[in-house]
Amino acid sequence: MKTCCIYYWDNGSGVGIDAELIHQCLNEEFECLVLDFSIDENQNQELFDIQSTEKNDIGIFIQNYDNNLLHRNRINVYIVNEEWLSVSEINSFSDFDYIITKSEYGKKLLFDLHKNINTLYFWSRDLYNERFYNEQDDSILHLAGCSIQKNTEILLNEPSIHIFDRTARFKDVREENYYTKYISENKLNRLLSKCNTHVCPSLYEAHGHYMYEGLLCDKNVIASNISPWNEQIDPDYINFVDIDNVIINSDDYDFLSGKSVDNTIHPLRRGFLVNRDELKEKIKNPTNKKPRKYIIDLFEKNKKQFLNFFISL
């Protein structure tokens, strides 16, 4: 059986979920090890010591990398968040045998930076809970988590929307609707299944776990008409909101301003602004398109393609 090692640094924005899902997918055909370098290095060293002295067949790096680990693998694969890139990440592409993007749009952005760039669509956890689903009400949910590209700014003055934002970036907002504390897994499951409408007007996404988790819970999902969502999802199963403007450099969104002092903002980064009037109308009158079965089938196809790609290496 081939061996692979999945390397990641859990920054709270979904990378840990990616590692877990990839492990579950590849574990059918590979002897897989997962290393989180946001935890104690000694613990990871113990895991390394357990390994055979021979190299892994494949090393998979999720969004971050350490070139001191590349020699441990015969083939090195880098999975990028294609619009959340630093200059140093772009410069590291040449160290890898393959680059993976999660959308064709991302591949087009990066196609001339590496000779082996492949698109592999992703999938998300199924957090559907029938007991919580049966308790559903007309609540509207926006889950920003630790991410700053969810376009939470435009929802702050919507009193009907419950906003969960771990970044706590916004001041002078309605405290009864704006939550900044950690959400337990059980509470997250309850919110996903209980709230009837989920609003996701993201400026951009690499995949967007929360949006897909809402679809898997069979909810009314209102989302930006952006890649990779519009590459994968039939509009019959989601409430897409059209894009009104593209931001390449804006002081209104600091992380798109291009003024980073540590040179981490790459010129490829941009934001897609939804049409505000259309968004408000869809929040008032959302349509439940019963997407659960459609998304389950879609994800089974994505997982199969992902597994087959790595088997072929």
CA–CA dist 109, 269 (Å, integer) = 10
- 137 and 202 assigned to the same domain: yes
How far is C-alpha 286 from the chain's CA centre?
24
Q: What angle do CA 9, 10, 15 make, to 5 degrees?
A: 100
- 145 and 248 assigned to the same domain: yes
- 135 and 279 assigned to the same domain: yes
- 158 and 223 assigned to the same domain: yes
Task: State the pLDDT at residue 50.
Answer: 46
Task: State the pLDDT at residue 127.
Answer: 94
Task: State the pLDDT at residue 44.
Answer: 52
- 272 and 137 assigned to the same domain: yes
Residue 310 has pLDDT above 50, yes or no: yes
Instruction: Tell me the whole-structure pTM to 2 decimals.
Output: 0.90
- 167 and 278 assigned to the same domain: yes
Task: State the pLDDT at residue 39.
Answer: 61
Number of domain units in the chain: 2
Task: State the pLDDT at residue 231.
Answer: 97
The predicted model gives 221-230 an average pLDDT of: 96
Q: What is the CATH number of the domain that holds 250?
A: 3.40.50.2000
The predicted model gives 31-42 an average pLDDT of: 75
- The per-type count for the chain, helices as H runs and strands as E runs, is 10, 14
- 146 and 64 assigned to the same domain: no
- 21 and 68 assigned to the same domain: yes
Residue 190 has pLDDT above 80, yes or no: yes
Among 140, 275, 256, CA closest to 201: 275
- 141 and 118 assigned to the same domain: no
- 118 and 19 assigned to the same domain: yes
Q: Which domain holds residue 198?
A: 130-299
Among 190, 179, 132, 118, CA closest to 152: 179
Angle, helices 292-312 vs 15-26, to 10°: value is 70
- 86 and 208 assigned to the same domain: no
- 305 and 293 assigned to the same domain: no
272: β partners: 246
Does 224 or 262 have the greater pLDDT score? Answer: 224
Task: Please provide the size of the chain in residues.
Answer: 313
- Considering 23-27, 105-109, 134-138, 178-182, the range whose residues carry the highest mean pLDDT is 23-27
Q: What is the CATH number of the domain that holds 47?
A: 3.40.50
